[in-house]
Amino acid sequence: MMNNIKILLPLLFILVTLQGWGQGNRDDASSIQVIVNVQSELTELNRKQVMSLFLGRARSFPNGKSTKAFDYQIGSQLRENFFEWLTGKSISDIDAYWARLRYSGRTSPPRVISDLDTILYIVSKNQNAIAYIRQQDPAQLARQGIVVVHTLKEL
């Protein structure tokens, strides 16, 4: 009986630990980072500021520097998660919102970039750029001249 318990306890410990790691990994995967170039001199943006910048209501960062947002392609899961977590609205409502702005001639949606590497390259080279990515190591991003200014998690 005791032998069984001795075997079961470590197994249980391992299972719980793995479960915790798994949960932790899922948390990381379900987080989205809003990133800018280090030369933008920004360290943090709040949710309202991020919303304004990605919904075309603001053309400059809080420090007054002009900005340009970048987005992913229509149908991208990351794009859907980002806007739904950011605004609490369906991606259909966000697409309808951008249709109103685009086809009334007021402003254009963020420029679409198809892959992560290009997003990282653009943000690392452009002090006006703002974009979003799946959770990445901030230290590694910093080495590319990129700063995480906001982190979104699933609502």
Answer for which of 19, 25, 77, 90 binds other proteins (CB under 8 A) is: 90
As a whole number of Å, the CA-based R_g of the chain is 20
Q: Binders of other proteins among 45-64, rule CB under 8 A?
A: 46, 48-49, 52, 57-58, 62
Non-local CB neighbours of 79 within 8 Å, separated by 6+ positions: 71, 72, 73, 91
Answer for which of 99, 118, 137, 154 binds other proteins (CB under 8 A) is: 99
Token pair in block for residue 97? 């919102």
Answer for which of 14, 18, 96, 142 binds other proteins (CB under 8 A) is: 96
**CB-CB contact of 35 with 131 (8 Å):** yes
Answer for which of 6, 26, 102, 153 binds other proteins (CB under 8 A) is: 102
Give the separation between CA 139 and CA 94, rounded to whole angstroms: 32
Where along the sequence are the contacts to other proteins (CB under 8 A)?
46, 48-49, 52, 57-58, 62, 66, 74-75, 88-93, 95-97, 99-100, 102-106, 108
